[in-house]
């Protein structure tokens, strides 16, 4: 049986490479709450071992009323990752992204 590496909590602040916002990390932060963009740095959550480092574009929203996720697609390697929407995320951006799915 193959074991999946455990989540590694990394408390890191960063400047969003898409919109330039200063993001205060809490150890679970993996995307910019202002524009929802991310960076492809993890193989497994928190490990920072992915050599890709491509920008992850928010392409859709999925989930239900109790937990929504933003789906990111890497602009460099096309990998897709899902991440939970947090209370600090700009809900206007979330709603606009969700609306694009239905147009």
Q: What confidence score (pLDDT) does residue 40 get?
A: 94
Is position 76 within any domain? yes
Is position 88 within any domain? yes
Is position 87 within any domain? yes
For residue 46, what are the domain limits?
A: 14-101
Is position 9 within any domain? no
The larger pLDDT score, comparing residue 58 to residue 1, is at: 58
Specify the number of domains making up the chain: 1
Q: What is the mean pLDDT of residues 49-63?
A: 94
Is position 3 within any domain? no
Is position 82 within any domain? yes
Q: What confidence score (pLDDT) does residue 4 get?
A: 55
Q: What is the pLDDT of residues 59-78, one digit of tens each?
A: 999 998 889 999 999 999 99
Hey, what long-range contacts does 94-98 have (CB within 8 A, 24 or more apart)?
A: 94/36, 94/61, 94/68, 94/70, 97/36, 97/58, 97/59, 97/60, 97/61, 97/70, 98/60, 98/61
Is position 4 within any domain? no
Model pTM score: 0.86
Band of pLDDT at residue 5, cut at 50, 70 and 90: low
């Amino acid at each position: 049986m193959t074991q999946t590496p455990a989540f590694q909590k990394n408390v890191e602040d960063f400047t969003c490479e898409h919109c330039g916002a200063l993001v205060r990390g809490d150890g679970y932060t993996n995307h910019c709450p202002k524009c929802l963009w991310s960076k492809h740095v993890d193989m497994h959550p928190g490990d920072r071992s992915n050599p890709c480092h491509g920008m992850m574009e928010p392409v859709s929203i999925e989930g239900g009323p109790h937990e929504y996720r933003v789906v990111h697609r890497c602009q460099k390697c096309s990998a897709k990752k899902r991440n939970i929407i947090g209370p600090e995320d700009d809900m206007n951006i979330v709603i606009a992204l969700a609306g694009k799915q239905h147009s």
